[in-house]
């Protein structure tokens, strides 16, 4: 989310199983991220429900793929991201608008430690075009096979309400 820096440039929610933060970035911060190889993923209005995508996956940096032998002051600290395929669980109602996803295939991954907070993407094929949408932010695990997530729509609704409350309190 781009916005000129203000006294309230972030919003955090950590209650009822929801755990996420949203930060505003000014244009200079966005340029610095891009110069370091970090690309922004644009928010698009998603016309589909979460369950109507062809595939879903969580992106994260599992602990077992992190080079913890090096200190954070050394150059070249290694992080190896993974994409873990997940499938929405439609018959698993959750409080606070949380969504539930089951891991489809962990591959060689031994543990989900380190995947928390990762984005959940939905993918659809439209002919030759691949459509990728950010649909949720992962927030909790249950028995290391079910991921709970906050829908991105709910995150942005909370963010918008936060910004509106900041404007009315001035």
Q: Which CATH number fits domain 42-153: 2.40.128, 3.40.50, 2.60.120, 2.40.10?
A: 2.40.10
Region of 143 please: left (phi>0), alpha (psi -120 to 50) or beta: left
The pTM of the full predicted model, rounded to 2 decimals, is 0.71
How far, in Å, CA of 10 to CA of 46, rounded?
A: 24
Stretches where the chain sits below pLDDT 70 are 1-9, 16-19, 39-48, 67-80, 91-97, 143-144, 169-170
Q: SS3 for 61?
A: coil
How far, in Å, CA of 111 to CA of 115, rounded?
A: 9
How far, in Å, CA of 44 to CA of 9, rounded?
A: 22
Q: Assess contact for 106 and 84: CB atoms under 8 A.
A: yes
Region of 15 please: left (phi>0), alpha (psi -120 to 50) or beta: beta
pLDDT, one tens digit per residue, over 100-144 is 888 888 888 887 777 777 888 888 888 888 888 888 888 777 766
């Amino acid at each position: 989310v781009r916005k000129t820096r203000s006294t309230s440039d972030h919003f955090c929610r950590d209650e009822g199983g929801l755990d996420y933060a949203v930060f505003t970035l000014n244009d200079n911060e966005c340029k610095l991220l891009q110069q370091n190889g970090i690309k922004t993923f644009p928010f698009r209005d998603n016309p589909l429900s979460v369950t109507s995508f062809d595939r879903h996956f969580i992106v994260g940096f599992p602990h077992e793929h992190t080079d913890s032998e090096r200190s954070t002051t050394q150059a070249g600290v290694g992080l190896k991201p993974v994409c873990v395929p997940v499938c929405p669980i439609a018959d698993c109602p959750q409080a606070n608008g949380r969504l539930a996803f089951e891991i489809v295939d962990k591959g060689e991954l031994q543990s989900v430690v380190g995947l928390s907070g990762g984005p959940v993407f939905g993918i659809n094929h439209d002919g030759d075009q691949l459509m990728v949408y950010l649909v949720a932010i992962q927030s909790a695990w249950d028995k290391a096979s079910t991921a709970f997530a906050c829908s991105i729509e709910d995150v942005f609704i909370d963010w918008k309400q936060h910004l509106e409350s900041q404007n009315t309190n001035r």
